Structure 1
């Protein structure tokens, strides 16, 4: 058995913050929902909790259905205006459908915290504020992603292999257009051997 120095293993990439804290956040949210439902059941009784959950699911279904109809109607109007040759004009019903659907989905999810968040997303001033915040965040992330190019990302992926080995070189073709040592009649060599 030899006792030589082993080559250092490549450093494991760091986990993103989202992948680190999302499971913890979901577990905490689930515990909070269960404890709040247990507190409400203790203060009243089981049928009241059941009625709250059913009412939230029914209201959420109605909200999602209404928002879906509004979004489909807006899409249909936009397509008709484009086919008619006129520029599509955003109507009053064309904004906020996504957040309205999110609010409805939060109402459908069983729990009191999700119901409160879902109802809050149905309030128009709060819906506009959340929409503006989400739009600014999305644009900022898009600008950050645009600073690098796909060519740079491809180059980095090719150079920094998991095993750490990089072999610089080039393919030399002879006059027939095939790779030396390749007996295939196809001028393009296979991608894998």
Structure 2
């Protein structure tokens, strides 16, 4: 009983701190905004949707600086709650690829990669794992502007790179066989 009381106290304290941050988030300097962006990433990594929602309600512009990396991180780690929150924001036409150190990672290719085993281990039957993976791919695909996707597909053909769906099929061949689909 004492532990529950302490947890409620911690939650109340966190809520007060969050409200204070949200009240002041528009008038923050660049260093503090950078700290808030770091906090957004930490919240996303631990599925703290409430924090992301409150901060972005208080200052939607804060997402414009790091939202794409945040979105890619949600896709990479299959964080559906964060993905669903972020896809509610209007940057669909911009969310197609992101530049990293030496290469470019395309959103659909990232989605087509195998999910972390911790994600798949939550689902015991291969057919259900495959179904969830395909649903995730389709949900991500819906975020990419059709014209941009067609252009990227044409460029992939010119570079002899696989289309995202082909990449998905190749990466999930074993899972498809286990699930009885191929």
Task: Return the TM-score normalized by structure 1.
Answer: 0.23
Task: Return the TM-score normalized by structure 2.
Answer: 0.25
| Higher Cα radius of gyration | 1
